[in-house]
Amino acid sequence: MQDTKERIIELADRLIRTRGFNAFSYKDISDPLEIKNAAVHYYFPSKTDLGIAVINQEIEKLAINKLYWATFPENEQLQFFFDVFYQRSKQGYICLMGSLSPDYETLSAAMQEKVQHMSEDVLEWVTLCLENGRKKQLFHFEGDAYNRALLVVSNMISSLLLARVTGKEVFEKISNQLLKDLL
């Protein structure tokens, strides 16, 4: 069974992905978890502390995934990366980076720094995956791998947003086209 702190982080993660960071309060966490607001404040004295915990958890998940994915060819690694977004789409969630980015200017400096770190981590990994895959002739694209990574990541983020409005199949169409364009 999860401890209270983990349950708070998990629910905050879902709320950020569905509503946005600025659109929920500690009451939105304490009520469904049937705990007092004071319990949320005990673990996370400020909402920034909670936001940072959610981002840190996402960074840790990516680090674990990258270790596992590294045992596969780059084209499969990229598919695994897309699958993470696909699972989010099926749940009606958007990615954490896509949810926090619109609120970026309203976030504390500490949270902004964490969002930047998370974004850099994702872009660095996608860039490396694309460049290594191109060297092995698994990917074929013109230009700089970092620029291509920007296109891939921005398309994945926007596909989750668009899927909310136009239907989940949009995500699959966009991700499939991205892969076709690279192969």
If one counts the domains in the chain, the total is 1
Task: Let me know if residue 152 belongs to a domain.
Answer: yes
Task: Let me know if residue 64 belongs to a domain.
Answer: yes
Task: Let me know if residue 48 belongs to a domain.
Answer: no
Task: Let me know if residue 127 belongs to a domain.
Answer: yes
Task: Let me know if residue 105 belongs to a domain.
Answer: yes
Return the residue matching tokens 């921005």: 154
- Please, which pLDDT band fits residue 2 given cuts at 50, 70 and 90? low
Distance in angstroms (rounded) separating the CA atoms of residues 131 and 1: 42
Per residue in 10-43, pLDDT (tens digit) is 999 999 999 999 999 999 999 999 999 999 999 9
Q: Find the domain containing 113 and state its range.
A: 56-182
> The pTM is what?
0.89
Per residue in 95-112, pLDDT (tens digit) is 899 999 999 999 999 999
Task: Let me know if residue 22 belongs to a domain.
Answer: no
Per residue in 148-163, pLDDT (tens digit) is 999 999 999 998 888 8
Task: Let me know if residue 43 belongs to a domain.
Answer: no
CATH number at residue 82: 1.10.357.10
Task: Let me know if residue 62 belongs to a domain.
Answer: yes
